[in-house]
Amino acid sequence: MAAVTERSNFGKIAWPIVAWIVALIFFFPIFWLVFTSFKTDADAVKPEHLFRFTPTLENYTNMTQNYDYWKFAINSVITSTFATLFALAVGVPAAYAMAFNPSRHTKDILMWMLSTKMLPAAAVLYPMTFLTKNFLGIFDTHFLVIVVLCLINLPIVIWMLFTYFKEIPKEIIEAGKMDGVSTWGEIKDILIPLAWGGIASTALLTFIFCWNEAYWTVRLTTIDAATLSKLIEGNRAPEGLFFGRLSAVSTAAIAPIVILGWFCQKQLVQGLTFGAVK
Amino acid sequence: MAGLTLRDVKKRYGETQVMHGVDLDIEHGEFVVFVGPSGCGKSTLLRMIAGLEEISDGTVSIGDTVVNDVAASKRGVAMVFQTYALYPHMTVYKNMAFGLKQAKTDPAEIDKRVKAAAEILQLGDYLDRSPRNLSGGQRQRVAIGRAIVRDPEVFLFDEPLSNLDAALRVQTRLEIARLHERLGNTMIYVTHDQVEAMTLADKIVVLRDGRIEQVGSPIELYERPQNAFVAQFIGSPKMNFFGPGDLAVNAAAVLGKELPTSQQVGLRPEHMVISDAANGVVEGKMELVENLGEYAMVHMITETGVEFIAKTEKPPAAKKGEVISFTIKPELAHYFDAETGLRS
């Protein structure tokens, strides 16, 4: 008995410490980024000015003077929001159909959807750029970014929603059928209210994934539809001399999503555990 | 008037056939119970009547209408699910009103019907509560209420009591019986509990492996089971079976007939009486006695190794391992073909 108690006491102290250390490791780059954004470009690379420097807002004022930060930010908001909405508009009915009217092939279809995530993005870079630029003429448009963001997130959206919908007893949907609800009514009046938490978590995660996406948003846009990822990319000097400026831009780019994430922590944890905790 | 007719109803899932041509007639106002062991197809059959499961072959008619291709909500049936299947995000009132709302019923009429159903089921005080704040029994009453307000021709119950505790089960069973008396609708009720079947049914349908074994009133099934399966399924504890070699020496004299090798005899535990060896039909060593006060269950084993149970008024005076003989009135013995199991 005594041994067990001692061990659990040890665990009570040790595990939080481990958790804090891991959390700090994850948090450190963000801290460093924000810290550096208040240094001049010159200070940013000098080891002797690691902690001793005069804080400055120069990088931020430069940023707003040299670039239209708000344009990039608004593009990010527009593309992430619409991509999320479209992904849900397709994902909710798809997951509903697979959760409540499964066929022999439902599992295969789900696996196939997930397998599309295994495709190396670089492999389709050339066709995507060529087709959108020379053939479809939609290069650097909001439309293209929204479609691409929506499609790359769709598999994960459907998987998450499917997992949530699976937790709803089939009988409740059947009771709806007996009560004469249409298919749309089943989704609107029964499914969505019951899976609201899951749908919100899915939406939030998708929005974050869209916001953070950089591979395609950088490569498929130039000016008009460029998002904050593109703004960061644009400030990346090959010589690596403008760390202060780059840090300020990056901080400004991630700030909205970090704040959003902070306020929605509970939903996010629920979303990331895929409904396993209940 | 809405009777129900099933003609050669079959169900297949891909290659696997689970219902093998069921024929059944249900009169208007009858209380019919489907019983059988799990996997016998009783729930599938109910769900086919409800319209939740496609009918692979054959026809289901409600009244004079073939309903194979009619949507569940348009069949004039209402279903009470084992898990209640209430809408968790709606109040009791909204749960009951939901179906009527879908049918675009006049709000005043909805209100009238919901209040009337709540009155019958004593749910008046709970109309504003959400299902999560109700007990199991109350939830089940809401589920029944949801069926009542739709004023269906046929009520379907899918094991409605199995999620309730024993005391509540007895009480709810009585309520359902009263409800049937009061409303007079046709009711079809699925259960694996033979006590529910015996107490509620006008007519019991015993199913096994997707086939009907016997249809009849509870007492018919008890007194004249058509085969060994029904004989064992109806009655508790279940009927004991003996081959010619398992019987006592004087059995033929007591029963009034010699048991041929092609037959077996079935004796209900409650019909067996302790006797002297001369009048014994079966005898065996006593293994265990369960004394329940009002009666005793005597667990026995014959010399040939057949275990059987006798239900006696008082526990026998004999001790464990001693030999006891049992006799029975000849007219209470049931004879079945050893091979086919059919009554002979």
10-residue mean pLDDT profile of chain B (344 residues): values are: 88 92 95 94 95 94 93 93 92 95 94 94 93 91 93 93 88 92 94 92 95 96 95 92 93 91 95 93 94 94 95 91 94 94 92
Shared domain check, B64 and B119 = yes
Q: Testing the interface with A: which of B81, B91, B110, B148 to mutate, by most A Cβ within 10 A?
A: B81
Cα-Cα-Cα-Cα dihedral of B244, B249, B255, B261, to 10°? 20
Shared domain check, B271 and B169 = no
Residue A276's pLDDT is what? Answer: 40
Residue B14's pLDDT is what? Answer: 87
The CA R_g of chain A, rounded to the nearest whole Å, is 23
Shared domain check, B199 and B305 = no
ipTM of the modeled complex: 0.85
Shared domain check, B37 and B143 = yes
Shared domain check, B297 and B177 = no
Q: What is the pTM of this model?
A: 0.82
Across chain B, mean pLDDT equals: 93
Beta bridge partners of B290: B297
Residue A277's pLDDT is what? Answer: 35
Residue A242's pLDDT is what? Answer: 81
Number of domains in chain B: 2
Chain A residues with CB under 8 Å of B78 CB are 178
As to burial, measured by CB atoms within 10 angstroms (0-12 exposed, 13-18 middle, 19+ buried), residue B184 is exposed
Q: Testing the interface with B: which of A103, A105, A170, A178 to mutate, by most B Cβ within 10 A?
A: A178
Domain final position from B232, B266, B300: B232
Whether B265 is in a domain gets the answer yes
Q: Which domain holds residue B209?
A: 4-232
Q: Prior bond to B237 cis, omega within 30?
A: yes
CATH number at residue B309: 2.40.50.140
Listed residue (B239, B237, B195) closest to B333, CA to CA: B239
Shared domain check, B158 and B188 = yes
Whether A250 is in a domain gets the answer no
Number of domains in chain A: 1
Chain A residues with CB under 8 Å of B85 CB are 169, 171-172, 174-175
Chain B residues with CB under 8 Å of A176 CB are 87
In terms of DSSP H, where are the helices of B184-276? 194-200, 218-223, 228-233, 251-255
Of A169, A180, A193, the CB nearest to B83: A169
**What are the two backbone dihedrals, phi and then psi, of residue B81, each rounded to the nearest 5 degrees?**
-90, 155
Shared domain check, B115 and B52 = yes
Rounded Cα distance between A71 and A93, Å, is 34
Residue A44's pLDDT is what? Answer: 81
Rounded Cα distance between A177 and A165, Å, is 17
Whether B42 is in a domain gets the answer yes
Residue A251's pLDDT is what? Answer: 92
Per-residue model confidence as pLDDT tens for chain A (278 residues): 445 555 667 778 888 999 999 999 999 999 989 989 998 888 887 777 777 788 888 888 888 888 888 899 999 999 999 999 999 999 999 999 999 999 889 999 999 998 988 888 888 889 998 999 888 989 999 999 999 999 999 999 999 999 999 989 999 999 999 999 999 999 999 999 998 888 988 999 999 999 999 999 999 998 898 999 988 888 876 666 688 888 998 999 999 998 988 888 877 776 666 544 33
Whether A132 is in a domain gets the answer yes
Shared domain check, B134 and B172 = yes
Residue A278's pLDDT is what? Answer: 34
> Does the distance separating the beta carbons of A175 and B73 come in below 8 Å?
no
Whether B173 is in a domain gets the answer yes
Chain A residues with CB under 8 Å of B146 CB are 175, 179
Please tell me the number of Cα atoms within 13 Å of B326 on its side-chain side.
Answer: 29
What tokens were used for A63? 């940023």
Q: Is B188 helix (H, G, I), strand (E, B) or coil?
A: strand
Whether B263 is in a domain gets the answer yes
Cα angle at A73 between A32 and A206, to 5 degrees? 85
Domain final position from B232, B261, B295: B232
Shared domain check, B263 and B192 = no
Tell me the per-residue pLDDT of B115-167, one tens digit each, with 9 for 90 and over. 999 998 989 999 999 999 999 889 999 999 999 999 999 999 999 998 888 88
The total of other beta-carbon atoms located within 10 Å of residue A110's CB is 18
Residue A117's pLDDT is what? Answer: 87
Residue B26's pLDDT is what? Answer: 96
Whether B342 is in a domain gets the answer no
The label of the residue with tokens 């599309």 reads: A116
Dihedral (CA of B84, B85, B88, B92) sign: negative
CATH number at residue A159: 1.10.3720.10
Q: Do the beta carbons of residue B303 and residue B237 sit within 8 Å?
A: no
Q: Which domain holds residue A124?
A: 69-234
Shared domain check, B93 and B209 = yes
> Does the distance separating the beta carbons of B14 and A185 come in below 8 Å?
no
